[in-house]
Structure 1
Amino acid sequence: MHAIRKLADGLIGLSAILGTLGLLAELVVILIDVIGRAFGAPLYGSQDVTTMAMVILVFGAMALCDRNGGHISVDLLEHRFPNWLNRVFDVAAALIGAVIFAGLAWAVLESAKLSVMLNLSTNLIKLPKAWFQYALSAFAVITALGMLLRAVELTFTGRDVRKEGTPEA
């Protein structure tokens, strides 16, 4: 189980690094565009790049967000339930999340097939949309697998990685 967790943390870390690169690309493009607009020469295609970088940013960081327990949770009644019931809820939430992200990956992968078939691209600079759809699918699969692994760990070992802090990079 330790080797699988280490591999999962490596994939989650890689996903987060790619999300960080998306954030940096977005930051640079917006900065150049805003400065360019002040001088009457906005960056051509900045909307295309920021839209696609947002896909990388959001979904690249999603697995890390789950790994660190960053998703919204409501714990109003948690202290009133026994530990075993709270664990059941945590396992169920992880499994439901895994199914949702697996479904999202599948739906976006199907959409990417259409994008390839129709040769869809962004409006101005003609970035192929399928590239970003494939990336989103991969990030969603990594997130789903991370959630599934968390459910397995909670079920069989009682270990909750969200309470252990950030993974080693």
Structure 2
Amino acid sequence: MPPIHVLLISGSLRDGSTNTAVLRTAQADAGPGVEASLAAAIDALPHFSPDADVAGAAVPAPVAALRRAVGAADAVLVCTPEYAGALPAVLKNVLEWTIGDGGLYEKPVAWINCSGPAAPTGGADAHDSLAKVLRYAGAMTVDAACARIPLTRADIGPDGLVADAAARAGITAALATLVAAVPR
């Protein structure tokens, strides 16, 4: 049986991002039968415009690459910070580009929130806005795989992975629950 492919999408472009560290940890600890890859170059995506996403017209190369990655994935795991009470614009842009081709439609999707203890809502507003966009996209949200695992930059090891064993176990469990929801 071929491995289950999970696309990992970080909503943060920040160097040293705890969100990206969570996804790299999920990738490193994916286990047998799971192939996880981090979405590449989301900062290269142009701002979404319906005029650039017309049926039959070629989309910009970074958009085509994103759509191929989403299309090839069996599931998607997102980790995003909260900015200004919602999900960051860079992640919203990624998701908007997946609407035109229906890439997320009925695809199992989950998210991990790693907002630190200082976050006023614990990232709840980002989750609410993410859930709304994913519903609109027709994604199959796997609620049991969605997790809140608070982290700070001090929880990230020198290898760029989450060092805390309990947090790492939570990341692995969330990924395993998402993988278990993939139809075979």
Could you state the TM-score of these two structures normalised by the residue count of structure 2? 0.27
TM-score normalised per structure 1: 0.29
Relative contact order higher in (CA < 8 Å, ≥ 6 apart)? 1
Structure ID, larger Rg: 1
